[in-house]
Amino acid sequence: MIGRTISHYKILEKIGDGGRSTVYKAEDVRLQRIVAIKIMSERLIKNPKARLRFLREAQTVAQLDHPNICAVYEVDATEGHTFIAMAYVEGESLSQKIESGPLEITEAITLGLQTARGLNAAHKKKIIHRDIKDGNIMINEEGIVKILDFGLSKPLEKEDITKPRAILGTVPYMSPEQASGEPVDYRTDIWSLGVVMYRMLTGKHPFKGRNVGEMVRAILNDEPERIRELRNDVPETLETCIRKMMAKDREDRHERMAAVISDLRRATS
């Protein structure tokens, strides 16, 4: 694939690979700019539901104009390839940053706030991300968060593709209702962002398991180790906010992402 030109995009290098698609760095030869191009897996192109979900990602993100959401430029199907062209983010993923160890408190709050603002914009459009994790959060060279991969996102009012009992997402970041295959709402993203905040501050996953089944049981039944027991410089107000974000019962979480933003702001004062 490297060196090939698809439509008006010259493929330069592979930057990511998943089960549903592969992401490449590419040059838009028409506009002479660098982009990221996500090409749907060939084995899924003939799967109508998979193709619809892939195309819906582009349609979803196209509705969202926010500095903390990675912009989509084009979606097309040509020469046997279905692809999405989007902004190329020069920087590192949050997961890469966490690999170096827990973040400073002010940095964790700043990145958490930016992510919450991007998700709040999506929620205002009635769009749930459903796969928030540090691997889907990029930080550019100016320190600006860009949320990626709306491939599992869902308009809140539509139930045609994802039925109850269809478990989609990344297990360590799933809310209890998501892990149980129940219908989800905005509060599943609040839970997942809480997990990301926990990871930023501790460098650890809050729920552990040797396999998927054990991890799901931990999410449903176990309480994570207290952040302040792992790191005593974390303000109690910040830990309280994160614990509320990760309440097992969604009714006990923040009702909206705007409330999370308010609590995170208070934690900085």
Cβ–Cβ under 8 Å, residues 220 and 152? no
The CA distances from residue 257 to 83, 102, 223, 247, in Å, are 31, 24, 22, 14
Choose the catalytic residue: 131, 134, 149, 263.
Answer: 131
Phi first, then psi: what are they for 221, rounded to 5°?
A: -120, -25
E strand or H helix at 228: helix 227-230
Query: Would you say 7 and 78 are in contact if contact means Cβ atoms under 8 Å apart?
Result: yes
Going through the chain in order, the beta strands assigned E by DSSP cover: 5-6, 9-17, 21-28, 33-40, 72-78, 81-87, 91-93, 127-128, 137-140, 145-147, 154-155
Q: Which of 10, 129, 135, 36 is nearest to 89 (CA)?
A: 36
Name the CA dihedral angle for 106, 111, 113, 114, rounded to a multiple of 10 degrees: 140
What lies within 8 Å, CB to CB, of 81 at 6+ separation is 6, 39, 40
185 carries an active-site annotation: no
DSSP annotation of 161 reads S
Only one residue has tokens 């006990």, namely: 252
| Active site amino acids | 131
